[in-house]
Amino acid sequence: GAAPPVFIRPPEGEDTPPPAPAAAGAATPEPHVPEAEPVEPEKEDRAISGIEKVMRRNARAGSHSRDPD
């Protein structure tokens, strides 16, 4: 369960700074945050309907395999 060595880079390794793209992205996360953008109603409905279909399919399949007796 140890974290990758990339994430636990000690401060003494200043002579090997992280890649510029990663640093720039980490420095300014606000301008480009897709998760914060509001989801369009039709997209949301489509996603929900898809999830419901999958859940129904899983429930139907599960009801059979869940009853061993």
Q: What are phi and psi of 56, to 5 degrees?
A: -65, -40
CB burial class (10 A; 0-12, 13-18, 19+) of residue 43? exposed
Q: How confident is the model at residue 15 (pLDDT cuts 50, 70, 90)?
A: low
Coil, helix or strand at residue 46: helix
**pTM for this predicted structure:** 0.24
- More confidently predicted of 50 and 32: 50
> Hey, where are the domains in the chain?
39-69
Q: 54 pLDDT exceeds 80?
A: yes
pLDDT, residue 60, reads 74
Tokens of 38: 């509001």
Neighbours of 55 (CB within 10 A): 11
The better pLDDT of the pair 11, 51 is held by 51
